[in-house]
Amino acid sequence: MSGLRLTVDRLTHRYGTLTALRQVSLAAEPGRVMVLVGPSGCGKSTLLGLMGGLLAPSEGEVRCEGEVPDDCLNPMTYVFQDFALLPWRTVAGNVALVLEDRMPRPACAERVRAVLALTGLADFADALPKALSGGMRQRVGIARALAVRPACLLLDEPLSALDAQTRDLLLEEFAALIGRAGTTTVYVTHNLQEAVLLGQQIVVLSRRPGQVREILRLDRPLAGRSLADADLAETERRLWRMIRDDAAEAERERADAPA
Amino acid sequence: MRRLDGKVPFRGGGFSPSDHPAAAAATLCVAVALWQAGASAGLIPTLFLPAPVAIGRALWALTVSGELWGHLSASLFRLGVGWVVGTVFGIGMGLAVGLWSAFRSPGMALVSALFPIPKIALVPLFIIWFGIGEGAKIATVAFGVFFPTVIATAGGVDNVPRGLVRMGQSFGLSHGAIVRKIVLPAALPAILNGFRVTSSIAIVLLVAAEMIGAQKGIGAFVLAAGNLYDTDNLLAGIVVLSLLGLVVAWAIGRLERWLLGWRG
């Protein structure tokens, strides 16, 4: 299996006096998709930031190990919820952002062309992000991430800024793209349907301070998964029961807290 | 209880002013025509305020004699060099203040202490430092341009969306590449906005510096005409300065359209 193994070892993270995560340990396995779910404010995005090296942990460490292909330009690559596209660059320019300084121009152009074709953006290479819909912008975010041939993809609620129809359409494409890329993937979402359709390991975090409450395994391949499948529907219900109870308890705690 | 019965009134209008270049031109034409009419009718004494036609004649005479170009070229040289020097150093300092903690507090302390000083008051000092020649006038313009450029650039850098910087970091871009590919383009609207302010400041300071110690230049010409109560030529010089301001504003507008076309 290709990709990196990402090991989180007793990770604690604080924002000032607020503990966002406490003693979190888990491992994202090479070439598989780990989905992080949990109630709002449980530290999912914080955990992803720590795993990607964008945040420094207060305690504990994140380790990565594994072979990285020679053509990989950024082993651990993020896809952002708000797309994080450069509005002054065209679609092709955004995708080439990292490649242009590290590859000869013809090779860069060829890789950009291939990735745009893969993500259905070939006809929009010269368009500016403002001319694209939300779904198309996120495709550009995905294309930019795939262009660097990552060994590990870190996706922070990549579909949450999109409308329901676009999300459903893009979700199918995500499953196909992630399955084809075969990279280790860590996917943060609050949407449990996304979790069961994409996740091979689903990590449920408790309310703040976030701790690993349970890790579910779905060993079926991503291709062919459907929400109509009985096992996936049952997993989704189970996840919801866990998260709903936690979210309700967190709400109660907040209501009881002195003003 | 109150009964409503009728068409729902439209309440969403206004708060979206639009440009009408024809209205701008018409306003200027009407103002000049009224001015000329007042002067022709004897309502405005021409010693106090020469008629537009007299100013036009003076301007024409200055143009055909070559005198205008002699003054204008000297002014344009000082304006160009002073503005470029002040802008280059100002952008450099603004980036340093916006990007590095080591420069932030010391830089802003210096800017806060020196920006409010009227630069005209420093002209005699610049003459001592740089001599009576071009150096003092260029330094006056550069010094006046430097501080607002620092403020505009640092403000632009501060307002760069942090998410874009994090994106660059997440892709492993070097610090230099993040500055070049993300910070500078994102701060460019603020920097160009600063150009509008600094170009006007530069013209004001140029004229003041030329009035203190210059033989050539629009400022020196205006001062000489004023000393002689030659109000036709005085206002001809002022018209040239006004036109210079318009041309600079137009050029910056073109630059913005070219560099910031992506904003649409």
B147-181 pLDDT tens trace: 999 999 999 999 999 999 999 999 999 999 999 99
Cβ distance A6 to A152 under 8 Å?
Answer: yes
Compute the mean pLDDT over every residue in chain B, rounded to the nearest whole number: 92
CB atoms within 10 A of CB B98: 22
Nearest Cα neighbor of B238 from B214, B215, B211 is B211
Instruction: Please tell me which residue, B13 or A253, carries the higher pLDDT value.
Output: B13
Instruction: Please tell me which residue, A44 or A255, carries the higher pLDDT value.
Output: A44
What does the pLDDT read at residue B83?
Answer: 97
Would you say residue B57 has pLDDT above 90?
A: yes
Side chain identity, residue B192: L
Cβ distance B192 to B252 under 8 Å?
Answer: yes
**B171 contacts A78? CB cut-off 8 A:** yes
Q: Which residues of B touch A (CB under 8 A)?
A: 163-164, 166-173, 177, 181-182, 185, 260, 262-264
For A254, the token pair is 């907040």
What does the pLDDT read at residue A119?
Answer: 87
Residue B139: pLDDT band (50, 70, 90) is very high
Residue A123: pLDDT band (50, 70, 90) is very high
Residue A118: pLDDT band (50, 70, 90) is confident
A193 to A57, A114, A199, A227: CA distances (angstroms): 30, 30, 10, 7
Say which DSSP state A88 is in: T
What does the pLDDT read at residue A159?
Answer: 87
CB atoms within 10 A of CB A240: 13
**A98 contacts B171? CB cut-off 8 A:** yes
Is domain B64-263 in CATH 1.10.3720.10, yes or no? yes
What distance in Å separates the CA atoms of residue A15 and residue A21, rounded to the nearest whole number? 10
Q: What is the average pLDDT across A236-256?
A: 81
What does the pLDDT read at residue A257?
Answer: 61
Residues of B in contact with A144 (CB under 8 A): 171
Q: What is the average pLDDT across A71-89?
A: 92
Q: What is the average pLDDT across B26-54?
A: 92
**B166 contacts A54? CB cut-off 8 A:** yes
Side chain identity, residue B95: L
Would you say residue B70 has pLDDT above 60?
A: yes
Say what the pTM is: 0.85
**B181 contacts A97? CB cut-off 8 A:** yes
Q: Return the axis-axis angle of helices B134-158 and B67-99, rounded to nearest 10°.
A: 40
What does the pLDDT read at residue B188?
Answer: 96
Architecture of domain A5-69+152-256: 3-Layer(aba) Sandwich (3.40)
What does the pLDDT read at residue B46?
Answer: 83
Cβ distance A101 to A73 under 8 Å?
Answer: no
pLDDT tens digit sequence for A54-70: 999 999 999 999 988 88
Q: Which residue has the tokens 């003076």?
A: B58
Residue A2: pLDDT band (50, 70, 90) is low
What distance in Å separates the CA atoms of residue A154 and residue A167, rounded to the nearest whole number? 18
Residue B201: pLDDT band (50, 70, 90) is very high
Across the interface, which of A76, A84, A148 has its CB nearest the CB of B167? A84
Q: What is the average pLDDT across B44-73?
A: 93
- Distance in Å, alpha carbon of B202 to nearest chain A alpha carbon: 30
Would you say residue B236 has pLDDT above 90?
A: yes
ipTM over 0.90: no
What does the pLDDT read at residue A115?
Answer: 92
Across the interface, which of A52, A82, A97 has its CB nearest the CB of B163? A82
What distance in Å separates the CA atoms of residue B261 and residue A133, rounded to the nearest whole number? 19
Substitution target from A88, A89, A98, A155 for chain B, most B beta carbons within 10 A: A88
What does the pLDDT read at residue A67?
Answer: 85
pLDDT tens digit sequence for B15-29: 888 888 899 899 999
For B131, the token pair is 């001599």
Side chain identity, residue A73: L
For A69, the token pair is 């292909």
Portions of chain A given CATH number 3.40.50.300? 5-69+152-256
Nearest Cα neighbor of A172 from A120, A133, A123 is A120
Q: In chain A, what is the greatest distance between 2 CA atoms, to the nearest angstrom?
A: 63
**A54 contacts B163? CB cut-off 8 A:** no
What does the pLDDT read at residue B157?
Answer: 97
User: The dihedral of CA B217, B219, B224, B225: what is its sign?
Assistant: positive
Q: What is the average pLDDT across B42-49?
A: 87
Q: What is the average pLDDT across B197-224?
A: 92
Element (H, E) at B88: helix B67-99
* Cα atoms in the Cβ-side hemisphere of radius 13 Å centred on B153: 28
Please state whether the peptide bond connecting residue A209 to the residue before it is cis, i.e. omega within 30 degrees of 0.
Answer: yes
Residue A255: pLDDT band (50, 70, 90) is low
Describe the strand order of the beta sheet including A184-188 as a list of residue ranges. Answer: A76-79, A152-156, A184-188, A33-37, A201-205, A212-217
Would you say residue A259 has pLDDT above 60?
A: no
Would you say residue B55 has pLDDT above 80?
A: yes
Residue B232: pLDDT band (50, 70, 90) is very high
